[in-house]
Amino acid sequence: MSDAENGGALPKPKIDQSEVEEYRRIYEELLGFVPPRIQARTDLLSRLDPEFLSLQEEIRKQGMYPDVFDVKTVQLMLFGMLLLSLRDAARIHGIAARRAGASWEEMQAVVNLAYLYGGLSAANIGAQFIQQIAEMEAEQEAGATGEQA
């Protein structure tokens, strides 16, 4: 059926929902949640091109989990790389770095390195993201203990 025939609605998923959930599980483990863009990509590709989704996730796994670096180091590097290009995904990798054990001082050291090559814009967005992550962690902690943030 063409798009015109089905009213422009997306086709049904071509893979089982459990496969989609398995792809998303790694994000949940890394971040504590699945970012909306990841949800959108996995949903769309499960409907339109599940083979490409599988390839993307395999390449991602190979790149993000090298034998020579631990998760914290990878996430700190990604945080810095993304700060240099002022990408909002830096925040996501900052969250992952913290969940992997990065200290606030390590996070700031990465921002300082990004500043050397990316200037004040990188320093500004890095500071903003660190503060947002700290606020998010404080809210989560308060929610876990039942306190008001």
At 4 the pLDDT is 57
With 0-12 CB in 10 A as exposed, 13-18 as middle and 19+ as buried, what is 95?
Answer: buried
Tell me what the pLDDT averaged over the chain comes to.
94
| pLDDT tier, 6 (very low <50, low <70, confident <90, very high otherwise) | low
Average pLDDT of the residues in 48-62? 97
User: Which domains, ranges and CATH numbers included, belong to the chain?
Assistant: 1-65 (no CATH), 68-149 (1.20.1290)
What's the pTM?
0.88
Q: What is the pLDDT of residues 85-143, one digit of tens each?
A: 999 999 999 999 999 999 999 999 999 999 999 999 999 999 999 999 999 999 999 98
Supply φ then ψ for residue 147, to 5 degrees: -90, 165
* Start-to-end Cα distance in the chain: 52
Average pLDDT of the residues in 57-67? 96
Q: Which residue, 73, 67, 11, is CA-closest to 43?
A: 11
128 to 1, 61, 95, 109: CA distances (angstroms): 48, 28, 13, 14
